[in-house]
Structure 1
């Protein structure tokens, strides 16, 4: 399994959160670097000795106090709403894609994410050496992916499990859903053996 395919199946899309964090961090870094440059007098001794708040800007704010307060309140509310929206967006449940196999009116055929996961899980649990499996369908309707966790018995041959999963379970799932590709991230765990009683 190639790295881009595994990454698609493993990672939830955080592109928006990463971009926002990067932009805010970059602005903070640039602001800090500018403050250091000005503070050390690299842009002139006069600028380095001036107060942090520019007297001209303070005079303008004093002359337009009402407009400045309204702008500050609006900006604060806007930032608060944006922060809450971003937090809710980050905390929302990950989408589970339902696949539309037939869109013909009156004969629509939709396979739910739960049905996909259940079928692949039942198929994976039939592999030799697998004690139990957990499968989640993730991604979108146009490009679904699977997250599979397999618990293996001690002494199980990993090559056999991997071959059965790759050429059997995943191939059958992809063909039955009519997909050209079905990325999957597979996690293998050793199942705990039952505790032995000491006499």
Structure 2
């Protein structure tokens, strides 16, 4: 079972991929069915028939109110679903501000920007790291991190990863007072400035 923090690491890609896959499978199935029927593999009679069955056309002609009502309802539902999906995709990503102390008169809240800046500075202090980008995501009860680490030319990847894992992320968990801090890490190599085309 996925936690909120684990879902935050993936942003909304899971839902988008599921919907895209479902639409793709349905479109593929419809195309294959049309090809099979059109080629006459299910019989030449079916291949020669129009796409919309004449019996269905007759029924729609006899019941125009029901047909129009069904079409309007389907259109409105599709419009609502499309608008919901559109605004869901544009929704800003959650940035958790953590409340470290809730005692009256002693409230202490650490903003998501402060969390990201502190962990970024800690990561950039690691030998071999040229720059780091850190984003705190999720919600206050279950925060997560997304990190992008750029290595200098000649840096030892294993050493850098071990230091980030055992020191940077451990300090982050201890500072934030959380037992687990799901983190997605992307590591790339900076190009050598001397080898760049001028």
- TM-score normalised over the length of structure 2: 0.77
Structure 2 gaps of 5+ residues are 1-5
Distance 1:17 1:147 in 2: 19
Contact 1:8/1:145, CA 8 A, preserved across alignment? no
Task: Name the structure 2 match of 1:133.
Answer: 132
- The answer as to 2:29 corresponding to 1:66 is no
Measure the CA separation in 1 of the matches of 2:12 and 2:192: 36
Q: SS at 2:134's partner residue? A: strand
Answer whether contact 1:9 1:185 (CA < 8 A) is retained: no
Instruction: Structure 1 unaligned segments of length 5 or more: list them.
Output: 1-6
1:40-59 to structure 2, matched below 5 A, reads 40-59=39-58
Q: Secondary structure at the match of 2:147?
A: strand
Q: Give the count of matched residue pairs.
A: 190
Cα distance in 2 between the residues matched to 1:15 and 1:134: 23
1:160 equivalent in structure 2: 159
RMSD of equivalent CA atoms: 3.0
Q: CA deviation at 1:191?
A: 4.4
Following TM superposition, by how much is the alpha carbon of 1:83 offset from its aligned partner in structure 2, in angstroms? 1.6
- 1:112 maps to what in 2? 111
Alpha carbons of structure 1 residues 167 and 47: separation in structure 2 relative to 1, 3 Å: same
- Of stretches 142-151 and 52-61 in structure 1, the one that deviates more from structure 2 is 142-151
Give secondary structure in 2 for the equivalent of 1:186. Answer: strand
Q: CA deviation at 1:190?
A: 4.1
User: Which range is displaced more, 33-42 or 100-109?
Assistant: 100-109
Secondary structure of the structure 2 residue equivalent to 1:84: helix
TM-score (norm 1): 0.76
CA distance in 1: counterparts of 2:31 and 2:192, whole angstroms: 56
